Amino acid sequence: MGTNYPKPAVRRLKVYAFDPQASVTLSTAMANDYVIELPWEQRWEAPLEKGPVNDYVEVIDVDPAAGLVYAPVDLNDPWLRDGGLDPSEGRPQFHQQMVFAVVMRTIRAFERALGRVVLWARDEQISWRDTALTPVERNFTPRLRIYPHALREANAYYSPAKRALLFGYFKPDQDAADVQASWVFTCLSQDIVAHETTHAILHGMRQRSIEPSGIDAAAFHEGFADIVALLQHFSMTPVVRQLLAASNGSLREAGLLTGLAEQFGRAIGRSKSLRYALEALGDRAAAPADGSAASITAAIRTLGATTEPHARGGFLVAAVFDAFVTIYERRTEDLLRLARPGLVPGNGLSPDLVGRLASEAATAADQVMRMCVRALDYLPPAGVKFGEYLRAIITADTDLVRDDPLRYRVAFVEAFKRWGITVPGCISMAPDSLLWDAPRLEDYPDILRHAETDAKAPLADPADALSMLFTDMLSRLKFGVTFEAADKGDAAYSMGDNGHRNLRDLAMQVVVHNQRAIHDWLEGRVTDSADWERLLGLRLMPLADRQDDGCRPLLSIEGSLGDRRRKPQPRFEVHSARISRRTGPDGFEMHLLIAEVVQRRRGYFDKEEQAAADRGDKKVIGDIRWTTPDFWFRGGATLHVDLRDGRLLRILRKRIDDDDRLERERAFRSGETTGEPAAAPHPNEPFAFIHRGI
């Protein structure tokens, strides 16, 4: 009888902490060795295969420029069970190991913050409403593909069309004398890999986020991806300990901890990292400003004049990193006060103190990272702005962390102000003033009246009315799929290639079911009252039945005739339906349904065409222009519903009938705002264009 040995708790994989450049620089070589620990595959997950390939990702090492296909690494080989391959620039199998390890590490960080599994984007060309399609044909992407040697150029990007990460390699610039490598591989930069993975995760969560809807859209994608890459530096505690000792505990100095992709930056001819968290932006100094009114005004002016996505996203990075450093300094100021009498003469900080500082930096970075990631669920479904992201951070943190003794939220607000990011329309920049408002249910009398009719009794609290309605909606949802139910369904969907049940695919099936259930429930509720339109920020009532309610009918919204028994009515989409369960530091639990309801409206650069389309005058527009407008303008709402009692906690709207917002988006897309059209030459590959040569 064989012996059953216990399975290891983690799989250890060696990586470069930063990139190969740090290993050939004497001052940083000791800090560049790191081991990523990933949870070993559980019994409900498919075993790790050569590639590596697991339930989340698939590494495919095809090198088109060299005409080669490299043999896949087998991390289950007995010789690789303890740490995998040693770091090597010249071994493709180590490249495969490193991208896999960093991608999975980034995915796990998101899942801890979100309280749910990460899912990749689905195919926009296939409608989840088509019940004739099998679950596979609905085309959620089961695995993100990773190509470590996809192209021979100074570029790396996430491809929304391919659902893949493509990493390039190139020869350093002739002026880059200090880059001691014949070839630079972007897949060996932990910062670049984490950055591109974040693009893929963000696209999966917010599929419309890659559309050029405004000046902050692409900048938010780039800035947020940099934030994740930077904050993940501080989870490498042994590395942080060494670098903090060299900087005497400071995080306000340029260096490996505060920079991104040093080897890449030097290889393309710069004398430093590709980007720094607090580097000079325009005429601003590298250190944050003093917060005076004049300084904030100058920062706002500089931000307003910055349009290139990476440069504009740098303001968001600087604001978040500034808040993180402030929090770190606040958490460690007592340690430094106590340690000053006992500093080691001539040697700076004592090793014990450096260890404590590194631990505090890791804790602060993890908390800030969670704040930033959780905020993604608190954004409106279209047209994100930096100020809205600040509101999302403050609201999401207030919901879960009710006590804020170290004033993290104040640190965020002050940092955003210092870097010129404000929130127009709010009474003040105090954290409580930035919270997203709860809906005023008394403003929707028809909804309340219908709820009372259903209850057959008056309701003392208006919130109880919507609670009753949304409880009915929740009763139609699925919160998991049993194995028995899965086995009765599509075998190819519920079982992986190796015969194992793929629980990620089952999670996708639940999402599809919930999107359809929410859509059907809303469709049955919203066509009899304009209150639902005002609540959701959409146009929903049958167009033929619309009465003059003081608002112009928007016939340019995509319509659906349905069958002959139904009157024409605008279409809408339940873009996502996510279940999130989170626990705060005091044990407080949140159980949320987060649903995005989205609608699209025809947009035209010519204002006369726009007016004709809004009147529904297809003769003026023509069939082709009606079917393919210049752009689609999107609106809708993000709903937060408490799973325990159906209470509508919050609704974040971007109204589809907001003509001022439509005008701003038209100006941005046409180039009036920035001086050049916003649409990239290859709209399906926006990151390939943005990242080239950056």
Tens of pLDDT, residue by residue over 226-265, are 999 999 999 999 899 988 988 888 888 777 888 876 777 6
Burial code (b: 16+ CB inside 10 Å, e: under 16) for 105-126 equals bbbebbeebbbbbbbbbbeeee
Are residue 398 and residue 468 in the same domain, yes or no?
A: no
Residues 115 and 240 in one domain: no
Say yes or no to pLDDT of 367 above 80.
yes
The verdict on 224 and 178 lying in the same domain is no
CA distance 221 to 135: 29
Cβ-contact 512, 135 below 8 angstroms = yes
Of 436, 469, 500, the residue that ends a domain is: 436
Which structure tokens are listed for 463? 């919130």
Q: How many domains does the chain have?
A: 3
Q: Are 536 and 637 in contact (CB under 8 A)?
A: yes
691 within some domain: no
Q: Look up the domain containing 465 and give its range.
A: 441-657
Higher pLDDT, 541 or 659: 659
> How far is Cα 453 from Cα 455, in angstroms, rounded to an integer?
5
* Three-class DSSP category at 3: coil
pLDDT of residue 302: 87
**Inside any domain, residue 63:** yes
Quick one: pLDDT band at residue 347, thresholds 50, 70, 90? low
pLDDT for 379 equals: 95
**Same domain for 536 and 410:** no
- Res. 589: pLDDT tops 50: yes
Distance CA(490)–CA(492), nearest Å, equals 6
Domain shared by 163 and 65, yes or no: yes
Q: Is residue 668 part of a domain?
A: no
Q: Where are the alpha helices (DSSP H) in 121-180?
A: none
Question: What would the DSSP string read from start to end of 594-634?
Answer: EEEEEEEEEE-SSHHHHHHHHHT-HHHH-HHHHHS-SEEEE
Looking at the structure, tell me whether residues 606 and 550 fall in a common domain: yes
pLDDT of 530 reads: 82
Residue 520 lies in a domain: yes
Q: Are residues 158 and 85 in the same domain?
A: yes
Structural domain ending residue among the three candidates 409, 436, 463: 436
Share of the chain above pLDDT 70, in %: 79
134, 42: one domain: yes
Whether 629 maps to a domain, the answer reads yes
Q: Which pLDDT value is given to residue 139? A: 64
On whether residue 540 sits in a domain, the answer given is: yes
pLDDT digits (tens, 9 = 90+) for 469-528: 888 889 999 887 554 444 444 443 444 455 555 677 778 888 888 999 999 888 877 666
Question: Same domain for 190 and 246?
Answer: no
Please check whether residues 271 and 193 belong to one and the same domain: no
Q: Over 90: is that where the pLDDT of 546 sits?
A: no
d(CA 227, CA 319): 10
What is the pLDDT at residue 458? 64
pLDDT at residue 533, rounded to an integer = 86
User: What tokens does 325 get?
Assistant: 């450093």
Which of 436, 470, 503 is a domain's end point? 436
* pLDDT score, position 565: 42
Question: Does residue 358 lie within any of the structural domains?
Answer: yes
Q: Are residues 367 and 260 in the same domain?
A: yes
- List CB contacts of 521: < 8 A, sequence separation 6 or more: 472, 473, 476
Residue 683 placed within a domain: no
Same-domain check for residues 389 and 509: no
% pLDDT > 90, the chain: 43
> Which residue do the tokens 């405004």 mark?
214
Mean pLDDT value across the chain:
82
| Cα(135)–Cα(20) distance, integer angstroms | 43
